[in-house]
A and B are shown apart, each in its own frame.
Chain A
Amino acid sequence: MHHIYCPYCEETREEEEYSYTGEAHIERPKDPAAISDEAWADYLFFRSNPRGIHHEMWYHAAGCRRYFNVTRNTQSYQIHETYKMGELPTITAASLDQAAPQGDAS
């Protein structure tokens, strides 16, 4: 079981209280009519499935019933950080690569 920090409750709670709700930071096209079917389908259906750092949304279903963002490693399940909706992650795949430029697998 994960212990996940809810940025709204400001507490670490059990995974049982949460549910996973998909990839974060997906922006709806400003003018859907102006873009191609391919671009619209890409927005609607296609999600990245990275091995490693993934930014995703979680829902505090049994708690404050708020959505928030989680940066999680899909390989190790390690949660690097959680942050509120509208905020940007401080830890990304690029920032971790910079910290370990030799391509260290750890």
Chain B
Amino acid sequence: MTNSTSTQATDIMESPLHNHVAHTNADNAGVVMSEDKFRGHLNLRGNPQDADFMAAVASVLSVPLPTAPNTSARAGDTVAYWLCPNEWLLIVASGTQGQVENALRQAVADKGGNQHIAVTDVSSAQTLVNLSGSGVEQLLQKSTVYDCHEANFPAGKVVQTTFAKTGTTICKLADGSVDLVIRRSFSDYFFLWLQDASEEYGLHIA
């Protein structure tokens, strides 16, 4: 059997949670999981006290790099998470990570070129998962040691902590749902945990 149309890369790619799509679909589910597949994930390191570096990054990204601990910035498809004082996770539109990586290197080189920076494409190592629904807050309380009460965890805040003992980056969104960055190698484990922890609320895979 031949297919006359060219096969897109994303048609044959399998996301980390590929095998769990439509695995569990409860009615009126209290927890809805959706994987934001194949987003570009870039790990950026540089000195935030260096005005040239910050200006170079700002010229490439549509969002400013957050410099306050545990904060994030987002505009459209681009998200920047604060990871540590000189490290950020940039999540960009699917397929654009190579262009953004090159543009970042070029912009920094144009600003002087002798700065110590690192841009690493980690797209294949991790995936972005969104959890929403009425049961999410309780699910997080069961799964993570971090205090996810809204007084301590307002929208836009991002923390790296443990989720079911695996390292996770959790970001609260304005709509009350949470975005989790999970490791590809832990995705099966993550899903099995999620299935178990969400049993009483019902789980729906969107």
A8 and B145: CB pair below 8 A? no
Given contacts A8-B69, A62-B162, A64-B160, contact A13 B146 (CB under 8 A): yes
**A8 CA / B159 CA spacing, docked (Å):** 12
B142: min CB distance to chain A, Å: 14
Number of A interface residues, CB 8 Å? 13
**A8 CA / B162 CA spacing, docked (Å):** 17
A86: min CB distance to chain B, Å: 13
Query: Is B206 part of the contact surface with A, judged by Cβ < 8 Å?
Result: no
> Which chain B positions have C-beta within 8 A of A65?
83-84
B149: min CB distance to chain A, Å: 14
Query: Is A16 part of the contact surface with B, judged by Cβ < 8 Å?
Result: yes
In chain A, residues 48-72, which have Cβ atoms closer than 8 Å to a Cβ of chain B? 62-66
B85 and A62: CB pair below 8 A? no
Query: Is B95 part of the contact surface with A, judged by Cβ < 8 Å?
Result: no
A64 and B167: CB pair below 8 A? no
Query: Is A11 part of the contact surface with B, judged by Cβ < 8 Å?
Result: yes
> Which chain B positions have C-beta within 8 A of A14?
145-146, 161
**A64 CA / B89 CA spacing, docked (Å):** 12
**A90 CA / B160 CA spacing, docked (Å):** 28
**A93 CA / B85 CA spacing, docked (Å):** 31
Query: Is A9 part of the contact surface with B, judged by Cβ < 8 Å?
Result: yes
Which of chain B's residues has its CB closest to A12's CB? B147
A62 and B167: CB pair below 8 A? yes
Query: Is A17 part of the contact surface with B, judged by Cβ < 8 Å?
Result: yes
Query: Is A27 part of the contact surface with B, judged by Cβ < 8 Å?
Result: no
Given contacts A8-B69, A9-B70, A11-B69, contact A16 B84 (CB under 8 A): no
Which of chain A's residues has its CB closest to B166's CB? A62
Q: Which residues of A contact B (CB under 8 A)?
A: 8-11, 13-14, 16-17, 62-66
6 residue pairs from A and B, CB less than 8 Å apart: A8-B69, A9-B84, A9-B159, A17-B145, A62-B162, A66-B84
9 closest cross-chain pairs (CB), A and B: A64-B84, A14-B145, A10-B69, A63-B160, A62-B162, A16-B145, A62-B167, A9-B69, A66-B84
Q: A8-B84, A10-B70 known; 20 other A-B pairs, CB under 8 Å?
A: A8-B85, A9-B84, A11-B69, A13-B145, A13-B146, A14-B146, A14-B161, A16-B145, A16-B162, A17-B161, A17-B162, A62-B160, A62-B162, A62-B167, A63-B159, A64-B84, A64-B85, A64-B87, A65-B83, A66-B85
